[in-house]
Chain A
Protein backbone atom coordinates (compact mmCIF):
# COMPACT_ATOMS: atom_id res chain seq x y z
CA UNK A 1 0.00 0.00 0.00
CA UNK A 2 0.85 3.67 0.08
CA UNK A 3 2.24 5.25 3.23
CA UNK A 4 4.38 8.13 4.47
CA UNK A 5 6.64 8.12 7.50
CA UNK A 6 7.98 11.33 9.04
CA UNK A 7 10.56 11.79 11.73
CA UNK A 8 9.19 11.90 15.22
CA UNK A 9 8.63 15.30 16.73
CA UNK A 10 8.48 17.70 18.27
CA UNK A 11 11.62 19.37 16.96
CA UNK A 12 13.03 22.41 18.75
CA UNK A 13 15.81 24.54 17.24
CA UNK A 14 17.39 27.90 17.78
CA UNK A 15 16.99 30.66 15.24
CA UNK A 16 19.42 30.41 12.30
CA UNK A 17 19.97 26.68 12.84
CA UNK A 18 19.91 24.19 9.97
CA UNK A 19 16.72 22.19 9.64
CA UNK A 20 16.10 18.69 8.35
CA UNK A 21 12.79 16.88 8.67
CA UNK A 22 12.98 13.37 7.33
CA UNK A 23 10.26 11.85 5.18
CA UNK A 24 10.24 8.42 3.57
CA UNK A 25 7.46 6.84 1.60
CA UNK A 26 6.13 3.56 0.29
CA UNK A 27 4.21 3.65 -2.96
CA UNK A 28 3.57 1.78 -6.16
CA UNK A 29 4.83 3.51 -9.26
CA UNK A 30 5.96 7.13 -9.20
CA UNK A 31 3.91 9.27 -6.82
CA UNK A 32 3.91 13.04 -6.60
CA UNK A 33 5.37 14.28 -3.32
CA UNK A 34 4.40 17.30 -1.24
CA UNK A 35 5.28 19.20 1.88
CA UNK A 36 2.47 21.11 3.54
CA UNK A 37 2.77 23.52 6.47
CA UNK A 38 0.16 24.31 9.11
CA UNK A 39 0.51 27.46 11.20
CA UNK A 40 -1.34 27.60 14.52
CA UNK A 41 -5.10 27.78 14.10
CA UNK A 42 -4.98 27.56 10.33
CA UNK A 43 -5.49 25.04 7.56
CA UNK A 44 -2.71 23.41 5.59
CA UNK A 45 -0.79 25.34 2.95
CA UNK A 46 1.30 23.82 0.21
CA UNK A 47 4.97 24.55 0.90
CA UNK A 48 6.58 22.74 -2.03
CA UNK A 49 6.17 19.75 -4.30
CA UNK A 50 8.01 17.45 -6.72
CA UNK A 51 6.42 15.27 -9.34
CA UNK A 52 9.25 13.07 -10.63
CA UNK A 53 12.51 11.55 -9.51
CA UNK A 54 15.40 13.99 -8.89
CA UNK A 55 13.07 17.00 -8.99
CA UNK A 56 13.79 19.60 -6.33
CA UNK A 57 10.92 21.57 -4.89
CA UNK A 58 11.70 24.88 -3.20
CA UNK A 59 9.85 27.74 -1.56
CA UNK A 60 10.55 30.34 1.15
CA UNK A 61 14.09 28.97 1.65
CA UNK A 62 12.87 25.38 2.11
CA UNK A 63 13.97 22.62 -0.26
CA UNK A 64 13.25 18.94 -0.77
CA UNK A 65 14.56 16.54 -3.42
CA UNK A 66 12.60 13.55 -4.74
CA UNK A 67 14.91 10.58 -4.20
CA UNK A 68 13.54 7.50 -5.88
CA UNK A 69 16.46 5.26 -4.88
CA UNK A 70 15.96 5.95 -1.16
CA UNK A 71 12.19 6.65 -1.38
CA UNK A 72 12.74 9.88 0.50
CA UNK A 73 11.69 13.54 0.33
CA UNK A 74 13.49 15.21 3.24
CA UNK A 75 12.71 18.85 3.98
CA UNK A 76 15.66 21.20 4.57
CA UNK A 77 16.25 24.85 5.34
CA UNK A 78 19.61 26.44 5.87
CA UNK A 79 18.66 29.04 8.48
CA UNK A 80 15.33 28.84 10.28
CA UNK A 81 13.40 31.76 11.72
CA UNK A 82 10.95 32.02 14.60
CA UNK A 83 8.20 32.47 12.00
CA UNK A 84 8.91 28.94 10.68
CA UNK A 85 7.39 27.46 13.84
CA UNK A 86 4.54 25.27 12.59
CA UNK A 87 3.53 21.68 11.92
CA UNK A 88 4.96 20.20 8.72
CA UNK A 89 3.31 17.36 6.81
CA UNK A 90 4.83 15.19 4.14
CA UNK A 91 2.34 13.68 1.67
CA UNK A 92 2.20 11.64 -1.50
CA UNK A 93 -0.31 11.31 -4.31
CA UNK A 94 -0.27 7.85 -5.90
CA UNK A 95 -0.15 7.85 -9.70
CA UNK A 96 -3.62 7.93 -11.21
CA UNK A 97 -5.32 8.50 -7.87
CA UNK A 98 -6.87 11.83 -6.90
CA UNK A 99 -5.94 11.37 -3.24
CA UNK A 100 -3.26 12.40 -0.79
CA UNK A 101 -1.69 10.16 1.83
CA UNK A 102 -0.21 12.11 4.74
CA UNK A 103 2.50 11.46 7.26
CA UNK A 104 1.72 12.08 10.91
CA UNK A 105 3.18 15.58 10.94
CA UNK A 106 6.22 17.08 12.69
CA UNK A 107 5.83 20.01 15.05
CA UNK A 108 8.69 22.49 14.72
CA UNK A 109 9.43 25.17 17.30
CA UNK A 110 12.10 27.80 16.70
CA UNK A 111 13.39 29.70 19.72
CA UNK A 112 14.86 33.19 19.37
Chain B
Protein backbone atom coordinates (compact mmCIF):
# COMPACT_ATOMS: atom_id res chain seq x y z
CA UNK B 1 0.00 0.00 0.00
CA UNK B 2 1.11 3.52 -0.78
CA UNK B 3 2.14 5.35 2.35
CA UNK B 4 -0.66 7.88 2.73
CA UNK B 5 -2.25 8.82 6.02
CA UNK B 6 -4.99 11.30 6.78
CA UNK B 7 -5.80 12.95 10.06
CA UNK B 8 -8.16 13.13 11.74
CA UNK B 9 -10.16 10.18 10.46
CA UNK B 10 -13.38 11.49 11.89
CA UNK B 11 -14.38 14.97 12.98
CA UNK B 12 -17.56 16.64 14.13
CA UNK B 13 -17.59 20.41 14.24
CA UNK B 14 -20.00 23.30 14.32
CA UNK B 15 -20.95 25.75 11.60
CA UNK B 16 -18.59 28.70 11.42
CA UNK B 17 -15.57 27.02 12.98
CA UNK B 18 -12.26 26.57 11.12
CA UNK B 19 -11.19 23.02 10.30
CA UNK B 20 -7.88 21.70 8.97
CA UNK B 21 -7.41 18.24 7.53
CA UNK B 22 -3.95 16.79 7.02
CA UNK B 23 -2.61 14.44 4.40
CA UNK B 24 0.84 12.92 4.87
CA UNK B 25 2.73 10.78 2.35
CA UNK B 26 5.95 8.81 2.60
CA UNK B 27 6.29 8.14 -1.15
CA UNK B 28 7.93 11.45 -2.16
CA UNK B 29 5.36 11.85 -4.94
CA UNK B 30 5.17 15.24 -6.60
CA UNK B 31 1.39 15.54 -6.97
CA UNK B 32 -1.14 15.62 -4.16
CA UNK B 33 -4.91 16.04 -4.36
CA UNK B 34 -7.91 16.68 -2.16
CA UNK B 35 -11.31 15.26 -3.16
CA UNK B 36 -14.69 15.18 -1.55
CA UNK B 37 -17.05 12.25 -1.93
CA UNK B 38 -20.81 12.77 -1.80
CA UNK B 39 -23.63 10.40 -2.78
CA UNK B 40 -24.49 10.72 -6.45
CA UNK B 41 -21.44 12.82 -7.26
CA UNK B 42 -18.56 10.39 -7.17
CA UNK B 43 -15.33 12.14 -6.24
CA UNK B 44 -14.88 15.80 -7.02
CA UNK B 45 -11.54 17.56 -7.01
CA UNK B 46 -11.20 20.42 -4.51
CA UNK B 47 -7.56 21.48 -4.91
CA UNK B 48 -4.35 19.90 -5.99
CA UNK B 49 -0.63 20.53 -5.67
CA UNK B 50 2.14 19.99 -8.20
CA UNK B 51 5.00 20.79 -5.87
CA UNK B 52 5.95 22.57 -2.67
CA UNK B 53 4.03 25.83 -2.52
CA UNK B 54 2.48 25.13 -5.94
CA UNK B 55 -1.26 24.60 -5.81
CA UNK B 56 -4.28 25.06 -8.05
CA UNK B 57 -8.04 24.93 -7.82
CA UNK B 58 -10.25 22.04 -8.73
CA UNK B 59 -13.91 22.02 -9.66
CA UNK B 60 -15.32 22.61 -6.15
CA UNK B 61 -12.76 24.89 -4.50
CA UNK B 62 -15.08 27.55 -3.05
CA UNK B 63 -14.83 27.66 0.74
CA UNK B 64 -11.57 25.69 0.84
CA UNK B 65 -7.90 26.60 0.91
CA UNK B 66 -4.79 24.45 0.84
CA UNK B 67 -1.13 24.67 1.69
CA UNK B 68 1.91 22.58 0.96
CA UNK B 69 5.06 23.65 2.76
CA UNK B 70 6.76 20.25 2.51
CA UNK B 71 6.66 17.52 -0.11
CA UNK B 72 5.09 15.09 2.33
CA UNK B 73 2.26 17.22 3.73
CA UNK B 74 -0.81 18.72 2.09
CA UNK B 75 -3.29 20.57 4.29
CA UNK B 76 -6.91 21.34 3.49
CA UNK B 77 -8.55 24.16 5.45
CA UNK B 78 -12.18 25.10 5.75
CA UNK B 79 -11.95 28.67 7.00
CA UNK B 80 -15.55 28.73 8.25
CA UNK B 81 -17.23 25.37 7.98
CA UNK B 82 -20.78 25.09 6.63
CA UNK B 83 -23.22 22.18 6.69
CA UNK B 84 -22.78 21.78 2.91
CA UNK B 85 -19.17 20.79 3.60
CA UNK B 86 -20.26 17.68 5.48
CA UNK B 87 -18.63 14.97 3.41
CA UNK B 88 -15.93 12.36 3.22
CA UNK B 89 -12.59 13.86 2.18
CA UNK B 90 -9.92 11.85 0.40
CA UNK B 91 -6.33 12.71 -0.25
CA UNK B 92 -4.51 11.19 -3.21
CA UNK B 93 -0.98 11.22 -4.59
CA UNK B 94 0.65 10.51 -7.92
CA UNK B 95 4.13 10.65 -9.35
CA UNK B 96 5.24 12.79 -12.26
CA UNK B 97 4.46 11.77 -15.81
CA UNK B 98 2.98 8.47 -16.84
CA UNK B 99 -0.73 7.87 -16.89
CA UNK B 100 -1.60 9.73 -13.68
CA UNK B 101 -2.45 6.66 -11.64
CA UNK B 102 -3.41 8.00 -8.22
CA UNK B 103 -3.15 6.37 -4.81
CA UNK B 104 -5.72 7.24 -2.18
CA UNK B 105 -5.67 7.71 1.55
CA UNK B 106 -8.24 6.17 3.91
CA UNK B 107 -10.44 9.27 4.07
CA UNK B 108 -11.70 11.70 6.69
CA UNK B 109 -15.37 11.82 7.57
CA UNK B 110 -16.32 15.40 8.45
CA UNK B 111 -19.67 16.36 9.91
CA UNK B 112 -20.59 20.03 10.24
CA UNK B 113 -23.56 20.61 12.55
Q: Which residues of A contact B (CB under 8 A)?
A: 4, 32, 34, 36, 42-46, 49, 51, 89, 93, 97-100, 102-105
Contacts and interface: CB of A to CB of B under 8 A. Distances in A.
Contacts of B105: 43
Contacts of A100: 33, 43, 45, 92, 100, 102
Contact of A102 (B43, B94, B99, B103): B43
A34 B43 CA distance: 14
Interface string B23-44: 0000000010100000011111
Contacts of B58: 99
A3 to B, nearest CB: 11
Interface residues of B, number: 24
B102 A104 contact: no
Main secondary structure of the interface of B (DSSP, over half): strand
Contacts of B107: 42-43
B34 to A, nearest CB: 12
B52 to A, nearest CB: 16
Given A98-B48, A104-B41, A43 B90 contact: yes
A52 B101 CA distance: 14
The 9 closest A-B pairs by CB, nearest first: A43-B104, A93-B100, A32-B99, A102-B42, A104-B42, A44-B104, A102-B43, A43-B106, A51-B99
B64 interface: no
B62 to A, nearest CB: 18
Contacts of A46: 101-103
Contacts of B94: 98
Nearest to B1: A45
Nearest to A50: B99
15 contacts: A32-B99, A32-B100, A42-B107, A43-B90, A43-B105, A43-B107, A89-B42, A98-B31, A98-B48, A99-B33, A100-B33, A100-B45, A102-B43, A102-B44, A103-B42
